[in-house]
Amino acid sequence: MTKPPARVPQRSNARSNRERILATARRELGRNPDITLEELARASGVVRRTLFGHFPGREALLEALAEEASQAMRDALPADPAPSDAGAESAERSYARFVLSMWTVGDRYRLLLALARRDLGQERVTEILAPARRAATTILDRGQRDGVFHTQLPPAVLSAGLEAMSIALLEEVNSGELEDDGTRATVASLIAAGVPEKQARVVVDEVAAED
């Protein structure tokens, strides 16, 4: 007796629906954190039952977004910064590479911060962002010790300030007030960290050309 064909198209449709729902949720929650699941279903082009079949409630959807963002940021992180020894990449180049890498997942970063307190909880968001924040602080600390970055602020505090500036610039890109592929934000970050503007532009152009 001939076996019935495998139901691959249905599984494929299910994956497609799930990905479309998550992509829509990233976009719409960034605009309106109060959007309902019913509104998200309509925006995703699926019926309410389909959305709830993948995500039984808001908490499940947000946790899926959090996990997706966590993986995306881990994947985007450049290699661990090398110690300040002979032949190591300069801290300014390492930080430029870091900012350019994080810009590619900036929307996920921004969404996590927007949902931090009310929905995901600050502790969960801090856990997700910890690898990126740790990498940035490590590079800034090395740069301060090497005399590349200013020492007006401790590395962790400087990192937090630069992170906030990057998120603000990303908001301006999303609103249409700024056009940037990440290079302008990276130059601005290096300048804010204490690198002269001309040097910052050269460093970012070189690093961007390599990636």
- CATH at 113: 1.10.357.10
Query: Which tokens in the block code for residue 120?
Result: 């995901």
Total domains present in the chain: 2
pLDDT tens digits in sequence order for the chain, 211 residues long: 555 555 545 566 888 889 999 989 988 887 788 889 999 999 999 999 999 999 999 889 988 988 888 888 888 888 754 554 545 789 999 999 999 999 988 877 777 777 776 787 878 888 888 999 999 999 999 999 999 999 999 999 999 999 999 989 988 888 889 999 999 999 999 999 999 999 999 999 999 998 7
Residue 168 sits in the same domain as residue 197: yes
Q: Which of 100, 126, 108 is nearest to 182 (CA)?
A: 100
DSSP annotation string for 163-181: HHHHHHHHHHHHHTS---S
Q: What is the pLDDT of residue 113?
A: 75
CA distances from 141 to 16, 100, 145, 205 (A): 43, 19, 6, 23
> What sign does the dihedral 131-135-140-141 (CA atoms) show?
positive
Residue 145 sits in the same domain as residue 92: yes
Domain boundary residue, one of 13, 37, 56 = 56
Tell me the Ramachandran region of residue 57: left when phi exceeds 0, alpha when psi lies from -120 to 50, beta otherwise. beta
Residue 20 sits in the same domain as residue 117: no
List Cβ neighbours of 43 (8 Å cut-off, separation of 6 or more). 24, 28, 35
Residue 164 sits in the same domain as residue 71: yes
Domain boundary residue, one of 18, 40, 56 = 56
Q: What is the pLDDT of residue 83?
A: 52
Residue 115 sits in the same domain as residue 197: yes
Q: What is the pLDDT of residue 121?
A: 80
Residue 81 sits in the same domain as residue 171: yes
Radius of gyration over every alpha carbon of the chain, rounded to an integer in angstroms = 20
Entry pTM: 0.80
Residue 70 sits in the same domain as residue 154: yes
Which domain range does residue 33 map to? Answer: 1-56
Please report where in the chains the tokens 């856990």 appear, as a residue: 127
CB of 195 closer than 8 Å to CB of 92: yes
Q: What is the pLDDT of residue 184?
A: 96
Rounded CA separation 26/103 (Å) = 16
Rounded CA separation 29/202 (Å) = 37
Q: What is the pLDDT of residue 86?
A: 47
Farthest CA pair distance, the chain: 78
Residue 89 sits in the same domain as residue 149: yes
Rounded to 10 deg, the angle between the 8-31 and 37-44 helix axes is 120
Residue 134 sits in the same domain as residue 202: yes
